[in-house]
Structure 1
């Protein structure tokens, strides 16, 4: 097991009726900017619950943060922060709203030339404006980590940011919100959280026995609850296990002491930036090809995954590893998620070359757990995903 340090300061408030506890978490003298997305929270009752809990503080609202939080929209929110002298941010939404709020937390105190530099220059945020979250869509785990991904439509870029100053002070997780989530977004959430675990697990063995079993247990739980959540999102127990699995998948715990991959996300982000494909679905496109291209480097862990998660007991290491990939693809299909780029766009010719060039231009010359996936290898993986 590798050396590590671990600190996660986010307070989790989990369970039925927990939104009403919001009033106890925000300072009474705070000037709050309430951030949300397309307005679904006004249809499902969450907005009313939040507003009721915020009656004792000064609240300004900013809605319309899109999926894949858009830089230009966030700059408008940043103007509101400056004009209204906001002191506290509250994200009510899924990963996109929370990621956008993290960007604003960093940008509000940023002293540089332009906030986009935070992403292009990979500037770690040591201290941001304080914020909390009310999670309405389980998927990204952003409610309990310090990372974010922001999209800039004018340049067709999607870049990450982070730092210890970007942990939410608190996050409220009421599984009852799952009942109002459309099936497509439920499938995306299951897919996203599943792949988050794989990015931290599907590398090579380092003797981190407990970390492996933490990861495997989250994968097994997602597989078990997926059909229940899709069939009946009002099933509270299934919703609760789904929501907590999404949070545990990316709150930093399972990545400690082990190598991480994250090349699937790097490539997937480019597909979202270029074509507007749902983030989770880009992961489903890249994952199988990535594992097949890097089969020799990953087969020992793939075989372990096959045995422990999919109960594949017959055959050699190679047989089990390949069968595990097939089981994974089958699971994605059962979620209703396609796994080829051509399923999403007919304009895919040249995509692999474009992504390879972007990575070269940015100096991203070695992705993956071994830092050996050069842009020319990325090009081959993306072509395999056509």
Structure 2
């Protein structure tokens, strides 16, 4: 196990009716609150009304229009609004995209740097405005981590950055009942791959981290068909919401190596085509495994095959193949196509991703072996 320092300062407020009963106590009474929203689904599911009722008597201003895969061009408008009203607190109401964008907004309002320059630098170094969240879509884990991913329409690029942790996050599983099935499936895929990026590396690092990660993967396996059959099953929705949070709140990465090559490739696909982030991961992860699981990730894939899919018979190569096929079939059971050509994504997209990685001299993965050439092999296997 590697040396580590673990500190997650986000207060998690979880359960039914927590927006109405718990949010007000977390909000400042002496600052103007910039409340950020996405495209309007919160008006349909009742979240907007609950939040506005909670804000009665406080000073606040609303910003609408943060897109899925949030764009820096939109974020600049929110920053300008926050500065105009001298906002001293940001409340993000939505899914991971709204929260990611709000982390950048909270960092950019008091900064002299342009929002995209902050993203390109990789980190908010200035003191951010305090941030709270009301989560509506379980997927990214952004409600309990410091990371964010932002796109640029102008450059067709998508990069991650590190900002401030939310001071608190309110999670009410009932607000997820009305989510479209595709959005739920992409959230499950996103959560699954978050775990795999931290788990599918090398063996012998931490028994505890392995078991925690495997617990989330097994839970997702069980929850997916339950939610598909009964979308209003509260306990299943609550478990899924907590799985998504625990998958990326630093908890399962303590003292172990990480990969993140699948995410890096997926981000490029989204930037170039607009395909939903979680869906790109359902396509790329099996490809990453097809290229790396027989060599670099061999021992861990065999462990994964046995513990997650109960694959114990056959040669080692046969078990690895079966595990990859089981993983791809799991994503297909979510009604997510798992090949680039199924989504009408041509070879020119792969060519551009490889060109970009070569230009940046990218070396991804736990061992730094996923370069442009390896990325080409991964993408070729996704057709």
CA deviation after TM superposition for structure 1 residue 188, in Å: 0.7
Q: Write the distance in 2 (CA, Å) between the matches of 1:89 and 1:69.
A: 16
Q: How does 1:10-159 map to 2 (within 5 A)?
A: 10-20=10-20, 21-112=22-113, 114-125=114-125, 127-159=127-159
| RMSD between aligned residues | 1.2
In the other structure, the counterpart of 2:181 is 183
CA deviation after TM superposition for structure 1 residue 373, in Å: 1.3
Matched, 1:368 2:369: no
In the other structure, the counterpart of 2:335 is 336
CA deviation after TM superposition for structure 1 residue 126, in Å: 5.7
Q: How many equivalent pairs are there?
A: 381
Conserved? CA contact 1:262–1:368, under 8 Å: yes
Conserved? CA contact 2:290–2:381, under 8 Å: no
In the other structure, the counterpart of 1:383 is 380
Kindly provide the CA deviation profile for residues 77-97 of structure 1, in whole angstroms up to 9, marking residues without a partner as x. Answer: 111011010000000000000
Kindly provide the CA deviation profile for residues 173-227 of structure 1, in whole angstroms up to 9, marking residues without a partner as x. Answer: 0010111111111111111101100010011113300000000000000110111
Q: TM-score, normalised by structure 2?
A: 0.97
Q: Write the distance in 1 (CA, Å) between the matches of 2:218 and 2:127.
A: 36
Q: Write the distance in 2 (CA, Å) between the matches of 1:318 and 1:4.
A: 34
CA deviation after TM superposition for structure 1 residue 316, in Å: 3.1
Conserved? CA contact 2:361–2:371, under 8 Å: no
In the other structure, the counterpart of 1:170 is 168
CA deviation after TM superposition for structure 1 residue 380, in Å: 2.0
In the other structure, the counterpart of 2:2 is 2
Q: Write the distance in 2 (CA, Å) between the matches of 1:183 and 1:289.
A: 24
Conserved? CA contact 1:22–1:54, under 8 Å: no
Q: Write the distance in 2 (CA, Å) between the matches of 1:117 and 1:274.
A: 20
In the other structure, the counterpart of 1:208 is 206
Q: Write the distance in 2 (CA, Å) between the matches of 1:252 and 1:123.
A: 17
Q: Write the distance in 1 (CA, Å) between the matches of 2:124 and 2:108.
A: 11
1:262 to 257, 260, 263: 260
Worse overlay, 317-326 or 367-376: 317-326
Q: Write the distance in 2 (CA, Å) between the matches of 1:29 and 1:207.
A: 47
Q: Write the distance in 1 (CA, Å) between the matches of 2:340 and 2:125.
A: 35
Quickly say closer, same or farther: Cα 1:111–1:362, change in 2 above 3 A. Answer: farther
Q: Write the distance in 1 (CA, Å) between the matches of 2:78 and 2:360.
A: 28
Q: Write the distance in 2 (CA, Å) between the matches of 1:105 and 1:40.
A: 23
CA deviation after TM superposition for structure 1 residue 266, in Å: 0.2
Q: Could you tell me which runs of 5 or more consecutive residues in structure 2 were left unpaired when the two chains were aligned.
A: none
Q: Write the distance in 2 (CA, Å) between the matches of 1:111 and 1:28.
A: 26
CA deviation after TM superposition for structure 1 residue 109, in Å: 2.5
Q: Residue 159 of structure 2 aligns to a residue in which SS?
A: strand
Q: Could you tell me which runs of 5 or more consecutive residues in structure 1 were left unpaired when the two chains were aligned.
A: none
Q: Residue 33 of structure 1 aligns to a residue in which SS?
A: strand
CA deviation after TM superposition for structure 1 residue 376, in Å: 1.7
Q: Residue 13 of structure 2 aligns to a residue in which SS?
A: strand
Q: Write the distance in 1 (CA, Å) between the matches of 2:222 and 2:264.
A: 28
CA deviation after TM superposition for structure 1 residue 358, in Å: 1.0
Worse overlay, 117-126 or 231-240: 117-126
Q: TM-score, normalised by structure 1?
A: 0.96
Conserved? CA contact 1:117–1:123, under 8 Å: no
Conserved? CA contact 1:197–1:215, under 8 Å: yes
